[in-house]
Amino acid sequence: MISGEKVWDIMVLGGGPAGLTAAIYGSRAGHSVLVLEKMILGGEITLTSQVDNYPGFPEGISGPELGELMEKQARRFGTEIELNAEIKEADLEEKPIRLETTKSTYYAKKLIISTGTVSRALEVPGEEKLKGKGISYCASCDAMFYRDKEVAVIGGGDSAVEEAVFLTRFASKVYLVHRRHQLRAVKSLQEQLFNNSKIEFLRDTVVQEIKGESRVEGLELRDREKSYHLSVQGVFVYIGRLPQSGPYKNQLETDENGFIVTDEEMRTSISGVLAAGDIRNKIFRQVSTAVGDGAIAAYTASRELQLG
């Protein structure tokens, strides 16, 4: 176990693309960097079988492999990594910043929070078993795997409608399943949906179960009149995302949805604390934007360390 008595120059919470990029940039600048990750390195990309929109990989790359390469690069420059370290208590105002985890207590001059988000789960039978096996939370990541197949999108907000329209570029049929009668998406998106002949809107409908053994085979649905089976090969869940803001969420300025507010240099409302990636309030959440955030956060932290 890494000693908790050391004061690190930069401590990074979260080992996804934003966090590992911040670690690469921070370590390469000559700073001592520690990454704390409560699960596995790579973040949500490890749930994606193929990443085709990240520059530099013309044939695509698997999510787990991309995460592994980022980890190797960070370690190459001297980054130290502590896994299975879940935050129990945080004092962001204290200097040096103190974090108590399930492993130890750690101190740092600068903190970069890149703990990301989690998709709000449907919490129905079959969902946990089939994650990554026909269940996806990112259409732009996985749409191409459903070319000429029938898929369902669950949700009724902007993201759900936007991704349903996007999926029609690949899928032969897209069902939009929404538990309410009216969509919550903005009017312009609804017009795109209703003008698309590939999309069928199943209103007043809830998912009761996701069926399949090794892959998604269909949905058990219920509307106001009956329960029935819908055969689909893919399910895209868009019922909201939850920021993983941990025990420090009440110490920082956040937006109405709990995402951390930053300036363009990734600074938060507390001096010495930065945020990068999906955990901060932003309009587009992708690997490429997370990487950009991580680089900027590390640059800002490094510059502040140099200036004292």
Which are the catalytic amino acids?
A: 138, 141-142
As a whole number of Å, the end-to-end CA separation of the chain is 29
- Asked if residues 26 and 54 have their Cβ atoms less than 8 Å apart, the reply is no
Q: Which two tokens stand for residue 185?
A: 């998406």
Residues linked to residue 59 through DSSP beta bridges, in sequence order: none
- Asked if residues 137 and 159 have their Cβ atoms less than 8 Å apart, the reply is no
Q: What is the DSSP secondary structure assignment for residue 134, as one 8-state letter?
A: T
Q: Which of 35, 22, 23 is nearest to 101 (CA)?
A: 35
CA angle 53, 55, 57 (to 5 degrees): 85
Whose tokens are 């789960």? That residue is 121
Q: Which helix (H) or strand (E) holds 98?
A: strand 97-101
Q: Which helix (H) or strand (E) holds 27?
A: helix 17-28
- C-beta atoms surrounding 250 within 10 Å: 7
- Concatenating the DSSP letter of every residue in 186-249 gives -HHHHHHHHT-TTEEEE-S-EEEEEE-SSS--EEEEE-SS-EEEE--SEEEE-S-EEE--GGGT
